[in-house]
Structure 1
Amino acid sequence: MKRIESIDIVRGIVMIIMALDHVRDLMHENSISQIPTDLNTTTPFLFFTRWITHLCAPIFVFLAGSSVFLSLKNNNDLKTTKQLLLKRGLWLLLLEFTIVNFAIFFDIRFHTLIVEVIASIGLGFIILSLLLKLSAKAIGYIGLAIIFCHNLLPIIPLAEHSLIRTLLAPLFSPTLIPFLPGRVLIIGYPPIPWLGIIFLGYACGHFFTLQSHKKPKLFLKVGLGALILFVTIRFINIYGDNGIWAPQKNGLFTFLSFMDVSKYPPSLLFCLVTLGIMFLLLAVAEKLPKDIQKITMVYGKVPLFYFVLHFYLIHIITLVMLFMQGIQWSEFEFAKGTFGRPKGIETGLSLGSIYLVWVFVVLTLYKPCQWFGNYKATHKKWWLKYI
């Protein structure tokens, strides 16, 4: 299948941005104790450092759905596509709970298991494999219904500890589940809201099959429409997100309040603004300077390879930072979800330094990603379908 350059470009852009979020999360001096979008403690620079990375997961998930549509259209083999999706979904779930979770926490005993974007895509592939007999339009309507309606769940009057709420909570909202002595499962990416995004991505896959001169106009219209709808619903301030915005101490912080939408779970407003920006990026992707296209496609062609590699590199750099800041190996804490950083001891880097480390990480991974992209393009080994 011929690769869609706009997909690789946009995916590459958001994956470069994604590394910034993970460098900040593991290495920023206040990342363990401070929520970067908390208007009571944040700064505009820190807020937008976190907010811009909101683009990554929904775009990553949406484009995964679109890639499934394009793959099915290319091979026109429902049975083969279904089997591949099912296998790849199971593989991604296994990868999340082993290699990825270890990369995040460096805890060989796996005291904390966390469900994040890789598992969400894996589960999305599995569910999507069961629905491929439906039309893309029908799957798209299901996705839209989930995106627009899942924020109704908190409105439903269910008793706090009722069986229905207990069963539904892990599907719709972040949940912490103890499952063995001293071990917990954290559902950071509840599956239902993210299914809505991957379903919508699948339904919109046909956008990428349109004639070249039609695609930018369509992407622009859809993107602007989503952003206008975001502003309208957010301004009304009644529905679409877990939190409402409110006037703050000045105009800038009021704007931050307006833009502070929920990723956990991804609210309707979160989806509108992030996917709206995605469509605008798709509209201009192939009009960007050729050098930028070339660089971003290097990362966008090997998303899973980059994802795994960048987490290990960032975490190794984090340990080097701790040693350089005088932390002894006996003081490292890997079982408490703090990435090795001991609580109660001041560690970490300033936000300016975080940006320098981010640039270093992205540049360091350029050549490995370029090599692996070329390897995938010139080899037909079966296992390359899963990386």
Structure 2
Amino acid sequence: MDKTLQRIQSIDVLRGAIMLLMALDHTRDFFHIDGMTGDPTNMETTTPALFFTRWITHFCAPLFVFLSGTSIYLQSLRKTKKELSLFLLTRGLWLIIAEFTIVNFGWSFAIFFNFFFLQVIWAIGASMVVLSALIYLRYWMLLALGILITVLHNMLDTQTFTDPAMDVFANLFLLTEFDQYPLGGGVKLLCAYAALPWTGIMLLGYALGKWYQPGFDPLQRRKLLLTTGFGVIGLFIVLRFINGYGDPRPWAEQKNGVYTFLSFLNVNKYPPSMMYACMTLGPGLIALALLERVQNRVTHVLNIFGRVPFLYYLVHIYLIHFLCMLLFFAEGYTLEDNFTKVMGFGFRPVENFGFSLGIVYLIWIFVVVICWFPTKWYEKYKRTHKQWWLSYI
């Protein structure tokens, strides 16, 4: 098999794996009995099973954004700077529009669009728009900028903005305070993914793409991936033990050793702290090295999921929410019971609704199996057709 195809396949396999894990977190949101009232990372109320169900999905967003950056570098090998810049600008704007429309509706099922919840698709789109301008810089500048953003943005953790306009800007691009901003007419906006820290992660992924260009020695690439991956993990362990800079959520001794370990792993995602980036990207680099020479039925399935991530993202959100709506009516709720919480998802009551964690896992498996069929169809369609719009979905 062509070596370039193998390199791309290892990226797609990892992307496919994190896409499936992402569905677990979203299934928990809609179906776990405490999905809307409890915090799986709260040391006072969580259990190890619940904590790790949430923790394992922490790898999804950063690796998704990181690998998007790698894909952009691979595109730069066959596009001019001007062509790539235009593509990033238009695709980024499209993703932002999609977040406000089809993605937002999938999460809310609110036909009046009175609440906008900006998440990972917004962050990717905004990062692509930023990168469309930065792409003209030299490679080393983009790498340095990615490192600086990822390492230094935690200096703003305690920053406050008294000016209303600056406060909105900060929550869109720098901080995540989960504030709801009125847009007029009863419409509100909440941004969970401040874009700039994710842009830093995308730039790091872009820099990684250099190791995947044609002619790069595969053995040297795997050594670099393993060395860098273990080095980043080591950096996480050392700095996390110091318990100083790099995360606004310091770990603390808990009621026993297990919960103290959980506290150690409980780093900040909103926005992604430096510790969060190290904890997730380090193992991701190691996974890329180990997956490069693996080809079996499992990697074949993951490869297909990873080739069409946006289509899968839409399908899985709509499917999970539709199943939740069926349960909503099956339990005797009516339309009058809908949207009883300002930020709530439609047809998802806040309290006394859903199942135990074990049932959530069964629903997740069912969701993944159902998603396989449209994902497989679209992956084949995209692979065998050349329409311009396919690169946007």
- With the shorter chain as reference, the TM-score category is over 0.9
Match of 2:153 among 147, 150, 155: 150
Give, in whole Å, the separation in 2 of the partners of 1:223 and 1:140.
16
Let me know the Cα RMSD of the aligned residues: 1.8
Q: Does 1:230 align with 2:240?
A: no
Kept in 2: contact 1:29–1:346 (CA 8 A): yes
8 Å contact from structure 2 (residues 171, 191) kept in 1? no
Deviation of 1:291 after TM superposition, in Å, equals: 1.2
Tell me whether 1:65 sits opposite 2:69 in the alignment. Answer: yes
Q: Deviation above 4 Å: which 4+ runs of structure 1?
A: 158-167, 341-345
Per-residue CA deviations over 1:190-224 (Å, capped at 9, x if unaligned) read 01111111111111111222222222221111110
Q: Which residue of 2 aligns with 1:215?
A: 221
Q: Gaps (5+ residues) in structure 2? A: none
CA displacement, residues 84-122 of structure 1 (integer Å, 9 cap, x when unaligned): 111101110110100000000100111210111111111
CA distance in 1, matches of 2:352, 2:327: 12
Which residue identity does 2:131 align to in structure 1? L
Shift in Å at residue 165 of structure 1? 5.6
| Equivalence map 1:1-387=2 (5 Å) | 2=5, 4-75=8-79, 77-155=80-158, 167-174=169-176, 175-209=179-213, 210-288=216-294, 290-333=296-339, 336-341=342-347, 343=349, 345-387=351-393
Rate the CA distance shift 1:78–1:318 in 2: closer, same or farther, 3 A: same
Q: Secondary structure at the match of 1:333?
A: coil
2: distance between equivalents of 1:164 and 1:371? 45
**Structure 2 SS opposite 1:313:** helix
TM-score (norm. length: structure 1)? 0.95
Distance in 1 (alpha carbons) for counterparts of 2:197 and 2:191: 12
CA–CA separation in structure 1 for the residues paired with 2:205 and 2:350: 44
| 1:48 Cα offset (Å) | 0.5
In the TM superposition, what is the alpha-carbon distance from 1:169 to its structure 2 partner? 4.2
CA distance in 2, matches of 1:187, 1:164: 14
Which letter does structure 2 place at the counterpart of 1:216?
Answer: R
* C-alpha distance in structure 2 between counterparts of 1:127 and 1:18, whole Å: 25
Q: What is the Cα deviation at residue 153 of structure 1?
A: 1.0
Change (3 A) 1:300 1:344: closer
1:12 touches 1:301 (CA, 8 Å); kept in 2? yes
Q: Distance in 2 between matches of 1:133 and 1:257?
A: 42
Count of aligned positions: 385
Using a 3 Å threshold, how does the CA distance of structure 1 residues 288 and 88 change in structure 2: closer, same or farther? Answer: same
Which 10-residue stretch deviates more, 234-243 or 337-346? 337-346
SS of the counterpart of 1:284?
Answer: helix
Q: 1:61 to 1:354 in 2, by over 3 A?
A: same
Q: Percent identity?
A: 41
Q: Is the 8 A contact 2:36 2:351 kept in 1?
A: no
Q: Is the 2:325–2:348 Cα contact (8 Å) retained in structure 1?
A: no
3-state DSSP class of the match of 1:199?
helix
Cα shift at 1:159? 6.7
Give the Cα–Cα distance (whole angstroms) in 2 for the partners of residues 333 and 272 of structure 1: 38
